[in-house]
Structure 1
Amino acid sequence: MAGVLLGIGVGPGDPEMLTLKAVKAIKEADVICLPRADKDKCRAYQITLPVVPEIKYKKTISMDFEMTRDEDHLKEIHEEFYNKYKQLVLDGYNLAFLTIGDPTVYSTFGYIMKLAKKDGIEVEIINGITSFCGSAASAGIVLSEAEENIHIISGQGNIEDELKLPGTKIIMKSGKYISEIKEKLIPLEEAGKISVNAVIDCGMETEEIFTSAMTIPDDSKYMMTIIIKEK
Structure 2
Amino acid sequence: MADKKSPHTRATAKLIGIGVGPGDPGLLPLASAQAIKEADIVFTPVSRFSKASLAASIAAGTGIDESKIQKITFPMAKDTETLQKAWTQAAAPVIKALDNGLRAVFLTLGDPSVYSTWIYLRREVEAQRPSASIAVIPGIMAANAAAARLGLPLVEGKERLVLLPLPEKVGELDAYLPLADRIVVYKIGSRLEELALWVRERGLDEQAHLVVGVGLDREAAGRLIDLAEKEQGYLSVALIRGRRE
TM-score (norm 2): 0.84
- Check if 1:195 corresponds to 2:207: yes
Which of 131, 145, 150 is the aligned partner of 1:134? 145
Q: Which residue of 1 aligns with 2:191?
A: 177
Distance 1:10 1:224 in 2: 17
Partner AA of 1:71 in structure 2: T
Cα RMSD over matched residues?
2.2
Kept in 2, the 8 Å contact 1:61–1:85? The answer is: no
1:207 aligns with 2:241: no
Distance 1:93 1:77 in 2: 23
Give the AA of the match of 2:140. I
Q: Which residue of 1 aligns with 2:5?
A: none
Preserved CA contact (<8 Å) 2:47 2:75: no
Give the structure 2 partner of residue 149 of structure 1.
160
2:79 maps to which of 67, 70, 73: 70
Determine the structure 2 residue equivalent to 1:99: 108
Q: Provide the rounded CA distance (Å) in 1 between the counterparts of 2:75 and 2:33.
A: 28
8 Å CA contact retained: 1:179, 1:218: no
- Name structure 1 gaps, 5 residues minimum: none
| TM-score normalized by the length of structure 1 | 0.89
The answer as to 2:238 corresponding to 1:226 is: yes
Unpaired runs of 5+ residues, structure 2, are 1-9
| Cα offset, 1:126, TM superposition | 0.4
CA deviations over 1:74-98 (Å, ceiling 9, x no partner): 2222111101221210221011100
Runs of 4+ displaced beyond 6 Å: 37-40
CA deviation after TM superposition for structure 1 residue 189, in Å: 3.3
Contact 2:192 2:233 (8 Å CA) reproduced: no
Structure 2 letter corresponding to 1:207: E
Query: How many residue pairs were aligned?
Result: 227
CA separation in 2, counterparts of 1:200 and 1:146?
28
- Give the aligned partner of residue 54 of structure 1: 64
Larger Rg: 2
Q: Is the 8 A contact 1:132 1:225 kept in 2?
A: yes
Structure 2 equivalent of residue 9 of structure 1: 19
Distance change >3 Å, CA 72–CA 220, structure 1 → 2: farther
SS in 1 for 2:214: coil
